[in-house]
Chains A and B, each alone.
Chain A
Amino acid sequence: MLLAIRIEALINALPGSVAQGLIWGIMALGVYITFRLLDFADLTVDGSIATGGAVAVMLIKNGMSPWLALVFAFCAGMLAGLVTGLLHTLLGIPGILASILTQISLYSINYNIMDKASNQAVSVDKYSLVASLRYVNAQGSSRAIFFAGLFAGVIVIIAATYWFFGTEIGQSIRATGCNEAMARAQGINTSFIKVLALMISNGFVGLCGGIYAQYQGASDINMGRGAIVVGLAAVIIGEVLFGKFCAKRKLAFGFTLFSVVIGAILYWAVYAIVIWLKMPSEDMKLFSAIIVAIFLSIPYLKGKYGRKGVKKNDKAVQ
């Protein structure tokens, strides 16, 4: 009987993981755009997620609607991406370093945005927030509305992303990521494209920060610490688990985007299981790094040692 109670506790905790995963999924989509489509390891996200949160919370506290505040969180994230992009393309700083520079500088900027405080609370009792952990545990319709809204929002974002990367500019981003020299030879302004992709990506990250700050009831100067690992984990878990499933479909790219969000949900579900098992949560950082390392290495090791299997698959696809 007690076993049943314990499992019930886990099942009760999972809606929270799903909500958390859907919100972080938006951020993971941003990571997917830079990491996979543009082939750019962008560490700006650790800073821009907190920027999005800071902007949203400060605007809400000054009387703006929580919905409208998210638009500004998105724009703030885009600005962060713009800085990284310009550092890289205009000043020739290597990509990863440019993003680290932006990330570090965002600490001070976020601090100033939050009115020289490291933590700004925004209470769901005072404002009608877009998202809150409270809704997850609420009884009745507000819970259903919250999940339906969140899910619909994510679907809309995926649809918009799918549409955008089908346009000429979107295709240029993918081409630049695949083969920059070739893209340039085709007359694509790759510098502009890189900056644009970084802005879109960090816009998503800022949006995620804005929603997540409302969800947890505060924006914190440290809320982005390690965010890139969560984002990468989501992208990679989604790819490895659903890559084959997506590849054979129509709208394969759309399914891939969706699998990234599923990856984020799975990441937080695993975390909930870790807590539920009463495993020491202090070891979670090591745990998530190991998960990411394993999933990152699988495609490589498969290519190296599993050639036969790969060839068979290739035939099957053809």
Chain B
Amino acid sequence: MKKILAMALSVVLCIGMMTGCGSKDGNSSSDNGDAAKVYNIGICQLVEHPALDAATQGFQDALKELLGDNVKFDVQNAQGEQTNATTICNAFVADKVDLILANATSPLQAAASATADIPILGTSITDYATALDMSDWSGVTGRNISGTSDLAPLDQQEKMLLELCPNVTKVGIIYCSAEANSAYQARVFGGYLEEDGIAYQEYTAADSNEIQTVVTNAIQDCDVIYIPTDNTMASNTEIINNVCLPAGIPVIAGEEGICKGCGIATLSISYYDLGYATGKMAYEILVNGADVSSMEVQYAPNVTKEYNAANCEALQIAVPEDYVAIEVEE
């Protein structure tokens, strides 16, 4: 019985290998018609998420425009687990890809552990120094890593909060405690508030189940809520909106997705643009031979002031002229 089972399993595996190879074979031979070098790029994305998806898309679009058919992508998703990111990055190194795109912090750490030679570009990463355990940060990593940061200009976001809610007495900063990037933003944002003499308090939820309680608790003490670019919050804006809007508490959001769901305004960076900028960096490295270790980490190319028309109206907040309304799908 066991022998039969073992044999059956091996047969399945063999067939799997053959079909896998077969299809790859077909794809590659058509590419090989071109004389130019075909670049293989491994993309490791942390989790399915609109912002991260947009960054991956932007990266691919940039390289497809610049390289046409001479680039092949191997897009892998780590399902939110660092262990999987490690396996995926190991496979990339084994596959001898020409460049690795690490989309979010855990993939970047896995890739950094996996190779000191293959160029690694990060995207959707807020703080490279923390992610890579570097104590003296100068804008470049000095090793085979560079990329783009999704850090929105927090000082400008803080100014925006004061502009729209001039009577604020205390700000509640809400984020998920499992997200290192959010904690970093909360700390920096809190620092700016402190400079302007405004009280604030941080509230954290461990997972999406706790959000309702945490937000309800926060609005007892605070009259404005700030939410950084937090993946957990971004996936649960409906809950936040249902607590804050009836209570008349405005929410300033760190990114467009959160603002669309529960915020009044945001200073938006586009993850697509961020990915696109990363794609251009990849082109510099692959084709023009740029040295990744001396490439400065780049920030979002342009930011726009955006507002959520429905929520601003409901809360009777006057929005200045230079804000753009976020489009709402019907």
Contacts and interface: CB of A to CB of B under 8 A. Distances in A.
Interface of A: 2-3, 6-7, 9-17, 20, 61, 107-108, 111, 116-126, 132-134, 136-137, 212, 215-218, 220-223, 225-226, 240-241, 243-244, 268, 271-273, 275-278, 280-282, 284-285, 298, 302, 306, 309
Contacts of A125: 116, 143
Interface of B: 1-2, 5-6, 13, 16-17, 20-21, 24-25, 28-29, 48, 74, 76-91, 93-96, 105-106, 109-110, 112-116, 130-134, 143, 177-180, 183, 206
A117 B178 CA distance: 7
B2 A240 contact: yes
Given A134-B116, A225-B81, A118 B177 contact: yes
A121 B131 contact: yes
A-B pairs with lowest CB-CB distance, top 10: A12-B94, A16-B90, A217-B113, A13-B94, A121-B133, A277-B20, A119-B180, A133-B113, A123-B133, A9-B95
A152 B96 CA distance: 29
Given A118-B177, A218-B106, A222-B80, A272 B91 contact: yes
A134 B115 contact: yes
Contact of B77 (A2, A16, A217, A282): A282
Contacts of A223: 81-83
B81 A222 contact: yes
Contact of A220 (B6, B48, B79, B106): B106
- Output the residue of B24, B76, B113 with the most chain A CB within 10 A: B113
B74 to A, nearest CB: 7
A223 B206 CA distance: 15
A27 to B, nearest CB: 11
Given A222-B80, A309-B1, A121 B132 contact: yes
Contact of A278 (B20, B116, B206): B20
B100 to A, nearest CB: 12
Contacts of B143: 125
Contact of B2 (A61, A218, A243): A243
A137 B114 contact: yes
